[in-house]
Amino acid sequence: MRTRSAPFVAIVAGIAAVGLAFISSAGEQDTPTNEVPKRLSSAVFAGGCFWCVESDFDKVDGVVDTISGYTGGRIANPTYKQVSHENTGHYEAVKITYDPDVVSYDYLVTYFLHHVDPTDADGQFCDKGESYRTAIFVANPNERAIAEADIAAVDASGVLPTPVVTKVIGAETFWPAEDYHQDYYKKNPLKYRYYRASCGRDGRIKDLWGDSAAAH
């Protein structure tokens, strides 16, 4: 058998060492860090047309995602057609994912109340029916306490002509709406602006809340 020369063996060993160093370095780069993922929370609000509620909450610093959907009803995985027939018990609602280090649940509740008509028990603005009623869906006793306290504060302030009828309800399964409803105001800006204006949403909110609506 032919014996390898010393220089040849040294070259091979050097190449192998470089390869091992590269593999080790690549492995170090791929190793996950020990950083703790940012803690996010969620909240669910029903405020009439979910296109509008989604649009309003997307403007809030600390809100990282909004999803239009249905909740509070009697059947699983409802469709828009089923809910719009007003016989399933569902609310049009929006699930909001937010960073509690940036925005508090208390602020989100207050913001919500100032962007709906919480005195209307039959729906919202031009949309009437059970699916358009307002509600705050709470996931725990702390959220319930905050929501009820904020509603009580609004009633005590006397800023609204009649008491708040927005319900505080224990959270139920949230069913995302069809894809075409998600980010509707972005996908169909002209149709959305026409709908919002013709429905009288912003005018009614201004009449109800005055300058305090713009402050929230």
Give the active site residues: 49
Any alpha helices (H) in the chain, and if so which ranges?
6-30, 50-57, 80-84, 105-113, 141-157, 184-187, 189-199, 201-209, 211-214
List the one residue out of 73, 158, 171, 154 whose CA is nearest residue 118.
154
Task: Give the 3-state secondary structure of residue 197.
Answer: helix
Strand order in the sheet with 63-71: 167-170, 134-138, 41-47, 91-98, 63-71, 175-176
H/E stretch holding 1 reads none
Q: Which token pair is 24?
A: 């080790």
